[in-house]
Amino acid sequence: MFLFRRRPASLPESVARYLEAPRPDPALPWRDVPYSVMDVETTGLNPRRDALLAIGLIDIDEGRIRMDQRWYSLVRPPDDAPVNPEAIRVHGLLPQDVEHAPPLHEVVPTVLRRLTGRVLVVHVADVDIGFLRQAMRRLYGVEPRGPAIDTARLAWHFQRHQRLIDSSGSEQEPALHLRALAESVGLPVYPEHNAFNDALTTAQLFLAQVSMFEAHGMPRLRDLLRAGGCLR
């Protein structure tokens, strides 16, 4: 269900279309489903208190990453959520980098247009979807919609089923960091904490994870959602 604080008719067209678009059929083979991979950079990790600073998106169509469909935008934070030194040490974005960027209310409609009718893919949903949820609630009084897949949850799925055991016989702590997961399957890793670079790494990781499913037969969207779904 969606939470509306205003009449749906008053929503911007891009938001209404996003909410009303048919969901991809879970019975479809995974390659027949369009995906959009998203990553964000923020002033912190609390969606209620912190602000978005950058969003990167890249599409996957017919099982292929579409570099020609990549999109990236900085976001100007509100005055009550300035860029702080601790966040700068993580992503390197300075206040002057975002002071002339478009504000959140100009960026979110573009994001939703690009997500319409597609399956959202993220790494660690609590962060990426958490900030998207907070932005949509604040601007429009609505919730983001699924389906969505979390590559960290997919990694947990594989590690749980493979029952990784170390030499002492105890279960290993699962490694869910994006860089570690990418390197573990031989993927290139681009400079971290850049919203587009991390979206690209996530997209490549997602395809590598799907190939693990393909070793046991062609997966359908519902198989990926059962293993890594994070938004219904």
Give the domains, in start order, of the chain with CATH numbers. Answer: 28-231 (3.30.420.10)
| 219 and 168 Cβ atoms separated by less than 8 Å | no
Q: What is the pLDDT of residue 56?
A: 98
Q: How many CB atoms lie within 10 A of CB 16?
A: 16
The answer to whether residue 137 scores a pLDDT higher than 90 is yes
pTM attached to this predicted model: 0.91
* Model confidence at 3: pLDDT above 90: no
Residue 152 banded pLDDT, cuts 50, 70, 90: very high
Q: What is the pLDDT of residue 8?
A: 53
Burial 194-216 (b: 16+ CB within 10 A, else e): bbbbbbbbbbbbbbbbbeebeee
In tens, the pLDDT along 92-127 reads 999 999 999 999 999 999 999 999 999 999 999 999
Per the prediction, the chain carries an average pLDDT of 90
> What value does the mean pLDDT take over residues 127-143?
96
Integer Cα distance of 132 and 50 in angstroms: 12
Most confident residue range from 6-10, 154-158, 194-198: 194-198
